[in-house]
Structure 1
């Protein structure tokens, strides 16, 4: 391990730098784009994911580093490390990854596309017939969407929109008889949103398919736009702006207004970076900098094309063989046969595993409750919902049907604030009681509570999940969701909603772990119990799965457990600041990360407990923000068959020798080889649970 990538918090234990650890995670995404085992058009999507991730990283994390660098020296000395040093290491690693990204695209993706008859053409590759077709397409479709801005001495300051690609244009050699400056400069926004795609499909010839960036269509047609000149040079730039909300996280005053104001500020936040084409002539670059206020410090070398996230829109040309084989959504082996989910939940608990099994069950639950005359109240936490959220619609309908509906809407869910504001307004109009989070905390838990009058007594039903109420992401995020009426769980869920209502921390939780009220303390207690067992010579083990491990206190506790002899397996998809395998510190800790077809999003915490295992499924990572500054929930699995399901799934992930990497991003082999690809093995396992005679797949909606 390179020394500069490890920081030492104290002389007693090592820590991986958080920023570099995140970049290591994004490199795993790039590895998927390089992997020849991944279908070609899926590799193209991983290129888009890598780019999209990096954009958000610059908007949030790099912007934060730059804000810290601007602090006065006295304040900066209070920080654990110099942000300037971290920033330098981050930019060095980003440049290295960007160079490899370009190489993967040029030498891998483009080459393989050509081998499959898909040709991504530039303006220089077109034959005369294609040039004629492209010019006609430009005049009919693109030209009405374009608004060039001339840059000259009198031009006022030009504002570049966040995450938008522009062409900086230099033109020279005026046409004969034309009067004017010998050279001029202009900027032009690439109209990706207005056009509906970054790409233009050209006519197919035989088995050859052709596609172009609209950037190159515009480059070819610059003489049509600026007819007074003969020579042109056009290079792309893109700005990423600071996306931190920078608001007081409290409900005092009108939080909605603060969020709306902050969303407007996001578009005008100071630049975190300006990506530019290194081939840009210096006079054009100087002109763009002069008119945009971008400084040399914000410049980051890019390539000819920016916003590779637009490759999400890359046409598939109806070639299914270049994509993942479809995995039809599975039905739940028990819930599928139940006409009433509430009646089924009276008898036992159920786990649904997304995206393998259908998300429709939670939609059915909320729709059933909204129409059930015996249901008196419904509550839910909304963190990230779909734009056309069926869950929010069901809650609104329940309120209109006279039920007491309480909805906790998190307005600080980064990049989803606008959708959440929209649904908060809709729900209020329907008569729901909308709560905008908790003072100083972000509500990240995913909970639902239904109260029903059964024979004069109120009975509660709860839905607890690791994932959001989001139909869109449920098809790509791997999560677990619990449907239960077990009073041990529902009583604690009621207490969580009471906390949302009154904000008082004096709540008692007997089975749920709730941040920031008791989660950290209970996790420490569970780790300490394993330490005690190890010291007594008893078997001691933990399997901890999360998206990110950053909290220093929990990392230090895991080091202590390793030193006591506790065997620890960590499944960490993203940031992992713990350093495994250090003699005398962490030699009993193994870390693996799985990046594959679906985004591993579930958090699972397993404690051996001398053979009486305890399983917790959670919304929370072991990051300081999750444990201290968010409302999170971890719920126990109390039913043996549900424990067995999660045990099997986690076991498959620990056996994965196809997509599992260590902290150095080296694929982990199995000895002997198991050839387990855990996400596919999980699908097959859940498919095997469907009884004979039951159609295993959910019918697609027409």
Structure 2
């Protein structure tokens, strides 16, 4: 008798089976912030983790909280899989975000600043300036700061100014009358973005230490009276406003996507207010005044004990030359296949080649395109670009190829969040070089990472392909973990060619040989593979699923994984950020483990492994288990067919599954517990081990 029949039917849509996605994302930021407390981390890297947690929170409010606020206004009764209404979510976000912010400032003030001082890296307060420092800072203020400051006194002729998103501002309380006899009592001063937020004191001129710094806010506070001649300053307090930075492009009402995105970008700095940060010393009356001006409630008000823009502390990290307080530099390796054979095409013809960044260099991808641009046998190059960075060698190679007379087509995603302006500039640069530029499909972001080079070899036309899990961005490949596959597999090459044809022309969906593609076959294909494991488990055969992604949110996939757990399938999930699946629920998800790795590098690759009765299938992709990746983006899900490469990925994934140094395990209540190894356990740190192995 099949024992699975004895399991009573359980409604897998119950809200209690799902973690709120926003709470899950804030949990991720707590794990990032925990690295700032980690005494095994280099000190300046700990400060960097603090900054990252702050910039993550900025984006969270700019995009996610902004959308929840909009939903609360449009449809306040709608609920998600967790059963929470938008207003319920906003209340939960407020509680957890306030806890996070309080911890950020506690870590800064009570841990990092004292530790930095021990290393002779100091933030000098105004009350501690010596005479030489005061003199130098007075000159600095007069020459570098004062000329570009524009204070605005508030009166009927000078209404409250429109405050730029995330800018540093001051609200100033005044008494007395100005030259025109006005006495409004208040003024607003916005610190121009051109000014550094942290200023290093020159040691010789100011009798300072080698790494003594002063906050711009302290300098402005100290010499503020020069801006208000003859008036008395009662108080000056920092504040910062975060605005809705997502933008809406009506896909049904646009003729030119480029113009539509450009129009929306102009408004990004002045979206609706979603968060207000104010110096904790600010009087209640002034706080109430600012809240009223921004039409905000205390739910999104943060009174902070320190600078209102902690992420700008990263400026100081770059200025301090203390290698002993930073990660040890490493040299990325190059696969032996390319080291032995300088002809990229010959190396790829011999065998599929896998790159694992940042442990292995991105340079082979650049060299692949450079050789394609120079090769007389290459007829055409097709490439997707989502984020690529300024002065990209990838872009330069594409331009050279076009100027050499090759047919070059680039699919640029204009709506890559916060890179829209860079991508518009990139599109113009490519078009000037006669590259065919298209903007993908209206309504669907092109997120797939694909490059195809068509080469004539004898009487044959051969497609050489690179498929990746991360962006064609040389800088992020030094910081993010990602896989990239080189192949000239005939069926895969034809699949990639068909996807490009789909993106650049009009026509019906074409059947693909090996790739799964969203928004067409990817979601259903994943569900089918999960169901296959369920069938094996029901037949009492070994069944296992391992998925490594950035986020797990999509409900149908979660429910399929719940069914898999119920059937006895072993499910291992390695999820960097959001996970709304709740593991460890009796009779629902007891066979599911969810772990998160937070280390030196940002975990970014997406890998899907299905045991398949011993004939394991391994896929890589740029797609997470999210609704947007499954239904609102163009993604590809590509197989790793080479047995040697399969075994390599399995071994590397096993390292992550056995990591007992940087791993966190998701608990049924939605919180994460850091793995603590026992005294008899050897430490396993996946990222460090991979780095050591690939550096030889």
Q: Secondary structure at the match of 2:355?
A: strand
2:27 matched to 1:24?
Answer: yes
2:122 to 112, 116, 119: 119
Query: 1:556 — aligned with what?
Result: 559
Greater Cα shift, 366-375 or 150-159: 150-159
Deviation at 1:662, TM superposition (A): 1.3
Alpha-carbon distance in 2 for matches of 1:352, 1:276: 46
Q: How many residues are matched?
A: 678
Are the structure 2 counterparts of residues 202 and 167 from structure 1 closer, same or farther at C-alpha, using a change threshold of 3 Å?
Answer: farther
User: In structure 2, how many angstroms separate the alpha carbons of the residues matched to 1:252 and 1:130?
Assistant: 57
Q: What secondary structure sits across from 1:421 in the alignment?
A: helix
In 1, are the aligned partners of 2:352 and 2:642 still within 8 Å (CA)? yes
Q: Is the 8 A contact 1:159 1:292 kept in 2?
A: no
SS at match of 1:334: helix
Give yes or no for the alignment of 1:389 onto 2:392. Answer: yes
Offset at residue 607 of structure 1 (A): 1.0
Distance 2:293 2:88 in 1: 30
Q: Taking structure 1 as reference, are residues 29 and 297 closer, same or farther at Cα in structure 2, changes over 3 Å only? A: closer
- 1:142-186 CA-to-partner distances (Å, cap 9, x unmatched) read 2223222222243134100011111112233689xx995677322
TM-score w.r.t. length of structure 1: 0.92
Measure the CA separation in 1 of the matches of 2:543 and 2:16: 22
2:682 to 644, 663, 674: 674
- Tell me whether 1:357 sits opposite 2:360 in the alignment: yes
1:400-422 alpha-carbon deviations (Å, 9 max, x no partner): 22111111111111111111111
Residue by residue over 1:458-490, the C-alpha shift from the partner in whole angstroms, topping out at 9 and shown as x without a partner, is: 111001000101112111111110111111311
> Shift in Å at residue 395 of structure 1?
1.3
Could you give the per-residue CA deviations for residues 499-558 of structure 1, whole angstroms, max 9, x where no partner exists?
A: 112343421112111111111111111111111111111111111100000001000000
The residue that corresponds to 2:464 in the other structure is: 461
Structure-2 residue corresponding to 1:696: none
User: Structure 1 residues 163 and 529 mapped into 2: Cα distance closer, same or farther (>3 Å)?
Assistant: same
Deviation at 1:336, TM superposition (A): 2.3
- Deviations along 1:24-64, one digit per CA (max 9) or x if unpaired, are 11111111111111111111111111111100110111111
Matched-pair contact (CA < 8 Å) for 1:156–1:291:
no
Q: Does structure 2 conserve the Cα–Cα contact (< 8 Å) formed by 1:607 and 1:615?
A: yes
Do residues 526 (structure 1) and 529 (structure 2) align? yes
Contact residue 76 and residue 87 of structure 2 kept, 8 A: no
CA drift of 1:625 comes to 0.8
**Pick from 172, 183, 192: which aligns with 2:175?**
172
- Show CA shifts across 1:221-275 (max 9, x none): 1133333235442111111111221112469511111101111122221111121
Return closer, same or farther for 1:481/1:392 CA change in 2, 3 Å cut-off: same
CA contact (8 A) 1:48 1:310 kept: yes
Q: Distance in 1 between matches of 2:514 and 2:76?
A: 47
Measured in 2, the distance between the counterparts of 1:530 and 1:85 equals: 37
SS at the partner of 2:471? Answer: coil
Matches within 5 A, 1:249-648: 249=251, 252-285=254-287, 288=290, 299-315=301-317, 316-648=319-651
List gaps (5 residues or longer) in structure 1: 1-7, 689-702
**Relative to structure 2, which stretch is displaced further, 268-277 or 412-421?**
268-277
- SS in structure 1 of the partner of residue 137 of structure 2: helix
Tell whether the 8 Å contact from 1:381 to 1:445 is kept in structure 2 after alignment. Answer: yes
Give me the whole-angstrom Cα distance separating, in 2, the residues matched to 1:281 and 1:332. Answer: 61
Check whether the contact 1:251–1:436 (CA below 8 A) recurs between aligned residues.
no
Cross-structure match for 2:243 = 241
Asked if the contact 2:334–2:361 (Cα under 8 Å) also holds between the matched residues in 1, the reply is yes
What do the CA deviations read for 1:547-602 (whole angstroms, capped 9, x no partner)? 00000100000000000000111000000001111110011001100011110000
Aligned 8 A contact 1:173 1:183 in 2: no
1:44–1:109 Cα contact (<8 Å) kept: yes
CA pair 56-146 structure 1, distance change in 2 beyond 3 A:
same
Per the TM alignment, residue 214 of structure 1 is displaced from its structure 2 partner at its CA by 0.7
Secondary structure of the residue that 1:314 maps to in structure 2?
Answer: helix
Cα deviation per residue 1:397-456 (whole Å; 9 max; x = unaligned)? 212221111111111111111111111112122212211111321110000000011113
Alpha-carbon contact 2:15-2:81 (below 8 Å) kept: no
Instruction: Go from structure 1 to structure 2 and tell me whether the alpha carbon gap of 1:423 and 1:77 turns closer, same or farther (over 3 Å shift).
Output: closer
Q: Tell me the alpha carbon deviations over residues 103-136 of structure 1, each in whole angstroms, 9 at most, x when there is no partner.
A: 1111111110111111112212212232222212
User: Contact 2:661–2:677 (CA<8 Å) still a contact in 1?
Assistant: no
1:259-308: CA deviations, max 9, x gaps?
01111122221111121123212444455556666666653333441121
Question: Which sections of structure 2, spanning at least 5 residues, go unmatched?
Answer: 1-10
> What is aligned with 1:5?
none
Structure 1 contact 238–275 (Cα < 8 Å) conserved? yes
With over 3 angstroms needed to count, the CA separation of the structure-2 counterparts of 1:566 and 1:505, relative to structure 1, is farther
1:692 corresponds in structure 2 to none
- Partners of 1:638 and 1:141 in 2: how far apart? 60
Match of 1:201 in 2: 201
Give me the whole-angstrom Cα distance separating, in 1, the residues matched to 2:16 and 2:320: 53
Deviates more, 1:638-647 or 1:203-212: 203-212
Alpha-carbon distance in structure 2 between the residues aligned to 1:36 and 1:91? 29
| Distance in 2 (alpha carbons) for counterparts of 1:79 and 1:47 | 30
RMSD of aligned C-alpha atoms?
Answer: 2.3
Q: Which of these residues, 669, 672, 676, is aligned with residue 665 of structure 1?
A: 672
* Cα separation, 2, equivalents of 1:251 and 1:543: 42
Q: Could you say which residue in structure 2 is the equivalent of 1:3? A: none
CA distance in 1, matches of 2:263, 2:177: 46
Deviates more, 1:579-588 or 1:261-270: 261-270
**Which residue does the alignment assign to 1:211?**
213
Q: CA deviation at 1:457?
A: 2.0
Alpha-carbon distance in 2 for matches of 1:452, 1:199 = 54
- Corresponding position: 1:15 with 2:18: yes
What is the SS of the residue equivalent to 1:235?
strand
